[in-house]
Amino acid sequence: MIERATIVKFDFTRWLPAIAKDSYQKTALSVVGVAAIGGLAFGPTAVAAPVTIGPHDAAIAAIDFATSNGGHDKQGATDDSGMTTGARDGKRGGGQPSREQLVPFGVQGAQSRIPLDDAQRDNAKAIIKAAKKTGVGDRGAVIGVATSLQESKLYNLGNLGASNDHDSEGLFQQRPSSGWGTPEQITDPDYAATAFFTALKNVDGWQNMPLSQAAQTVQVSAFPFAYAQWEDQAADIVQQLW
């Protein structure tokens, strides 16, 4: 990663090859995932730290290869539900939160969507489970899922070697050096999501903030508005998996 003093425009089309950790067996497997090249996760107290932006030079060729087919040919990916292709017709089963609950302020700016494979859906379920456990509710779950979509595209990323953003790992690209936990802890989806929501609950008035503001207060990213692009898909994911 390259140290710079100014914030540059973020290229949302660049996907980094990544190592995803199995949610249950904690084994590493190679996938074409997405590293967080814009949003940087710092400590739970949201203390400012040096900002690093842009992909590592050595990763450019790998990024180009990973994005050559738009990431739509991954084994196990799906695009046949509102989680990836758009919201459904508004009909909800019992217990599903309404669109108004999930997106109370409307989406901000152009929205992005990606197909989800089984690993990504499992990680989304873990985030939603942690949202229920910590009491942040369905709106908190949307913020959490959108944040993870931005940071790791819902992959539980291990250390990416030379392409790693400092020591960031896991669904939220949390950093052990900033107090989020050990590498083993922050690559556990339940621990990572619980830590994120615990920090979110310490943000005064987060329930009344736009998604990008709430997420940014926790993550302290170089690209504070990048989270907003995932709100629509995150809401669909939460509505269907809640």
Q: Would you say 78 and 115 are in contact if contact means Cβ atoms under 8 Å apart?
A: yes
**In tens digits, what is the pLDDT along the chain, a chain of 242 residues?**
333 333 332 333 333 333 456 544 333 333 333 333 333 333 443 332 222 233 334 433 433 333 333 333 333 444 445 676 555 444 455 589 999 999 999 999 999 999 999 999 999 999 999 999 999 999 999 999 999 999 999 999 998 877 777 889 999 999 999 999 999 999 999 999 999 999 999 999 999 999 999 999 999 988 889 999 999 999 999 999 99
Cα(146)–Cα(38) distance, rounded to whole angstroms?
Answer: 14
Label residue 237 left, alpha or beta by phi (over 0 means left) and psi (-120 to 50 means alpha).
alpha
Cα(3)–Cα(104) distance, rounded to whole angstroms?
Answer: 37
Q: Would you say 3 and 50 are in contact if contact means Cβ atoms under 8 Å apart?
A: yes
List strand residue ranges (DSSP E) for the chain, in order. 2-3, 18-21, 28-31, 52-53
Q: Which of 180, 162, 101, 163 is nearest to 171 (CA)?
A: 180
Q: Where are the alpha helices (DSSP H) in 90-136?
A: 99-102, 118-134
DSSP-based three-state secondary structure for 157: strand
Cα(35)–Cα(156) distance, rounded to whole angstroms?
Answer: 10
User: How many residues does this entry show for the chain?
Assistant: 242
What is residue 64's predicted lDDT score, i.e. its pLDDT? 37
